[in-house]
Chain A
């Protein structure tokens, strides 16, 4: 077992973990934040996307021990004080989700996408979300939601 200290959504978490524990399992099982999802076992689907030191990463490709000393932001950390930040609100407004399973990861990727490119074209949005699979929406309303969030960027974060 290895000791790690990871700040998750602003709260420092210390734990003894198996060296093989994935960051996503640390987040879900160790801390109990289950908003981050697991949709595959080959790092294709992106449902487990979180922010690691400000960068969107698939938390199934990172070991918990690799995240030692880092800051993690999950979907639960985006919404503060009961109000939805622009990206989540835009997904709601534009019906950018159906079953909701890909949604946390999709939103974490989309938030980073706008941080890197605040005014993307539709093509840039589609390319920017290539690491996140959705089986329900055909991506149409996800693209509209990201465009909407770009147009109304009054960020809470």
Chain B
């Protein structure tokens, strides 16, 4: 059964090749089916009434006028779903009490942020549902609000929840408090800075949506949703909200138009659609508007940090202390407490040997939208603190920020490295100098400093900024992150099933859930490389709990370092079985048979090879198999990683600040990343580009603004500064390759590096530009107004 193949796609070299994505043709032609493209027979449309107040009691809701509006099927309020449990909080901060309040399908008697859902209209058309919303009469009792995270924990602040005194969700710490105090007391210099990591609105181009149908004869729900983790959605909805077996629900994520973390979580609307489908006895669909997305989908970041760094006169950092107020919004999203604790505090050593670290995090309720993981999730906030710390130390001591970094880098020969605050995990592999050296070479660092000197003499404000980051990917060893460790309420392994059909064509099903990352291509490359077959012979399926093995989904840069490794492990067992069957066909000892590039043959006799297609056919028809061998080449693997992986790199930004207006011009952006082995460089470059754009946007433009009453001022794309193409210079991206020893593919993960690294690089560059004015720090986003004010104040 010969298949025509080219060398490039049949050898192991396919792993690492810049192959065009196999998922693209359907996306390029408009054929891909996203949630809103779904039309179910008899489908009704749902619109949701949302709270206009950030803090209010619901005295009563009168739905009678809405219910009699033409086209309306039914109107529901929170009381109609009282029997459903509130949504679960699946990741609570470990080692401390968490005071948890989570949303319900519809809130019943109180709301704590603008945008909370309180009633739902089911109608024949979307328009009728929207129209009827205006006919629902809610008797609101507005309450006092607090939106500022530091004010929220102060005495006398409005209290959002009865169980959360002073609005504190949790008070968590890591590191050595007394060691840090001693080291700070002994340090030559101590630098202090208050750092605001502002709230961001993630803004995937596709908003959220859900559709559902219910089959009364079986009691089974089918829920379509814009999710990064359909298996987890099913688990949370059935086991925690509905109290039914998992087998009574099927969850499907169709084509998903970006997520950046926001589509990891269980939201009230997903529960609501399932419940409504049952109540009205027909399929229902809700598609979020952009305004709803801004109000009711999770936001990201929002930390205020008080930083103290101790250092010796030569730039050696001896202590880092951070007290962080993490704003978690009016009510808790699915994994909100885990983000500013495990994924933030435990990464505060950065790429440096810092002997004494302590971090305290107060998670806080305020009358603002929910905050949870947004691309990078905790690690961008940690990297911002550490990389700003390095520059603040350099500025204080009059040292070159590059030299401060070199002085403190974890040396390449000290891996695996235990930063002391990772609760037992160690940085796997690294060579931090190498990426920095290459980045300096690309930007011609010495040349730039000369140019800068000349520019400064002309009154021009030119600056260069660095971010030599390390991050944590491939989440995570289940025992480390789980309830006995970091508080995550489940495991974090990943799964894959590989089936080689009779014709030699391969189907992989994975518990990962792509939403733009190109898993269908990346995983096909792993299969093609390992089995020695063309990429075109591999189909990767995901997104439906029916027909895919349980998986935890796609986030935390885990789909290559965990998901693809599950595929790899499955393939090894497939190859072992293929060798046994080939040995039987060749009348040889299995120990003497090798499998290479799609052929199994007796060592030294490749001319007598059986192709994978021959073997797959023999396995499938099962006429003549070895004694005791089961038919078919089929294997399912569950891979629980022994460690996380730790990508690193050096990002450099060059900016010019307009001395009159404060406008920042990003002139050059250079990134040298090391994400371990690369399966598809085209895809990895794309991930890095996109990440950089989001991180740069935080530094310069984006900011979710609430007024004092809790009204979101940046409530649509008219006000919130999503960058356009013209905002960026060409992005110069290179790589070094230091494989991880955590997994056999050597891959670390690349989905978040750009976002994690780029924000401090840009801020450091702007501060370098403003250094002649004596300015050390300005909080993000560095809009012309903020920079202009800082320059004006510095001159005064």
**Using a CB–CB distance below 8 Å, which chain A residues touch chain B?**
18, 20, 28, 32-42, 44-45, 47, 74-76, 78-79, 84, 88, 91-93, 95, 97-104, 107, 122-123, 125-127, 129-130, 132-143
By CB atoms of chain B within 10 A, which of A33, A44, A107, A136 has the most?
A136
Residues of B within 8 A of A139 (CB): 693, 724-725, 728
Residue contacts A-B, CB under 8 angstroms, 7 given:
A35-B31, A41-B716, A44-B722, A92-B20, A99-B516, A136-B690, A139-B724
A75–B37 alpha-carbon span in the complex (Å): 15
- In B657-707, the 8 Å CB interface with A consists of 682-683, 685-687, 689-694
B686 touches A101 (CB 8 A): no
B718 touches A47 (CB 8 A): no
Q: Top 10 nearest A-B pairs by Cβ distance?
A: A35-B30, A101-B257, A99-B516, A138-B693, A100-B27, A44-B717, A75-B30, A34-B37, A138-B689, A98-B516
- Asked, given contacts A140-B730, A141-B686, whether A39 binds B29 with beta carbons under 8 Å apart, the answer is no
A84 touches B21 (CB 8 A): no
Asked if B258 is at the interface of the complex by the 8 Å CB criterion, the answer is yes
Q: Which residue of B lies closest to A18 (CB)?
A: B127
A45 touches B205 (CB 8 A): yes
A66–B21 alpha-carbon span in the complex (Å): 39
A139–B718 alpha-carbon span in the complex (Å): 20
Residues of A within 8 A of B689 (CB): 137-138, 140-141
Chain B residue total in the interface (Cβ 8 A): 56
Residues of A within 8 A of B258 (CB): 98-99, 101, 135-136
B716 touches A34 (CB 8 A): no
Residues of A within 8 A of B154 (CB): none
Residues of B within 8 A of A125 (CB): 725
A99 touches B731 (CB 8 A): no
B204 touches A99 (CB 8 A): yes
B731 touches A140 (CB 8 A): yes
A123–B727 alpha-carbon span in the complex (Å): 10
Residues of B within 8 A of A32 (CB): 39
- Asked, given contacts A37-B34, A39-B206, A91-B28, whether A99 binds B725 with beta carbons under 8 Å apart, the answer is no
A100–B22 alpha-carbon span in the complex (Å): 13
Residues of B within 8 A of A92 (CB): 20-21, 24-25, 28
A100 touches B32 (CB 8 A): yes
Determine which of A40, A98, A103 lies in contact with B28 in the assembled complex, contact meaning CB atoms within 8 Å.
A103
Asked if B291 is at the interface of the complex by the 8 Å CB criterion, the answer is yes
Residues of B within 8 A of A123 (CB): 726
Residues of B within 8 A of A88 (CB): 28-29
A36–B206 alpha-carbon span in the complex (Å): 12
A79 touches B725 (CB 8 A): no
Q: Which residue of A lies closest to B291 (CB)?
A: A41
A8–B27 alpha-carbon span in the complex (Å): 20
B690 touches A138 (CB 8 A): yes
Other contacts beyond A91-B28, A138-B690, A140-B728: 19, CB < 8 A:
A33-B30, A34-B37, A41-B290, A44-B716, A78-B29, A84-B25, A91-B24, A92-B21, A100-B32, A101-B204, A101-B258, A103-B27, A107-B28, A130-B725, A133-B724, A137-B686, A138-B731, A139-B724, A140-B731
Distance of A97 from chain B, by nearest CB (Å): 6
Q: Which residue of A lies closest to B515 (CB)?
A: A99
Residues of A within 8 A of B693 (CB): 137-140
- Asked, given contacts A41-B289, A98-B518, A99-B257, whether A134 binds B24 with beta carbons under 8 Å apart, the answer is no
Determine which of A33, A95, A129, A133 lies in contact with B722 in the assembled complex, contact meaning CB atoms within 8 Å.
A133
Distance of B70 from chain A, by nearest CB (Å): 13
- Asked, given contacts A18-B127, A140-B689, whether A37 binds B206 with beta carbons under 8 Å apart, the answer is yes
Determine which of B23, B29, B717 lies in contact with A45 in the assembled complex, contact meaning CB atoms within 8 Å.
B717
Q: Which residue of B lies closest to A144 (CB)?
A: B730
B516 touches A136 (CB 8 A): yes
A102–B724 alpha-carbon span in the complex (Å): 13
B31 touches A99 (CB 8 A): no
B28 touches A38 (CB 8 A): no
Residues of B within 8 A of A143 (CB): 725, 730
- In B284-341, the 8 Å CB interface with A consists of 289-291
Distance of B262 from chain A, by nearest CB (Å): 11
By CB atoms of chain A within 10 A, which of B515, B685, B724 has the most?
B724
B30 touches A36 (CB 8 A): yes
A76–B20 alpha-carbon span in the complex (Å): 21
Residues of B within 8 A of A102 (CB): 205
A98–B518 alpha-carbon span in the complex (Å): 7
- Asked, given contacts A44-B718, A98-B517, A142-B725, whether A35 binds B257 with beta carbons under 8 Å apart, the answer is no
Distance of B157 from chain A, by nearest CB (Å): 34
Residues of A within 8 A of B429 (CB): none
Residues of B within 8 A of A37 (CB): 34, 36, 205-206, 257
Asked if B256 is at the interface of the complex by the 8 Å CB criterion, the answer is yes
Asked if B366 is at the interface of the complex by the 8 Å CB criterion, the answer is no
B206 touches A98 (CB 8 A): no
A143–B693 alpha-carbon span in the complex (Å): 14
Q: Which residue of B lies closest to A143 (CB)?
A: B725
A103–B21 alpha-carbon span in the complex (Å): 14
Asked if B203 is at the interface of the complex by the 8 Å CB criterion, the answer is yes
A39 touches B725 (CB 8 A): no
Residues of B within 8 A of A132 (CB): 725
A99–B686 alpha-carbon span in the complex (Å): 11
Distance of A129 from chain B, by nearest CB (Å): 5
Residues of B within 8 A of A122 (CB): 730
Asked if B356 is at the interface of the complex by the 8 Å CB criterion, the answer is no
A141–B580 alpha-carbon span in the complex (Å): 46
Asked if B207 is at the interface of the complex by the 8 Å CB criterion, the answer is yes
A78–B31 alpha-carbon span in the complex (Å): 12
A141–B258 alpha-carbon span in the complex (Å): 17
A95 touches B30 (CB 8 A): no
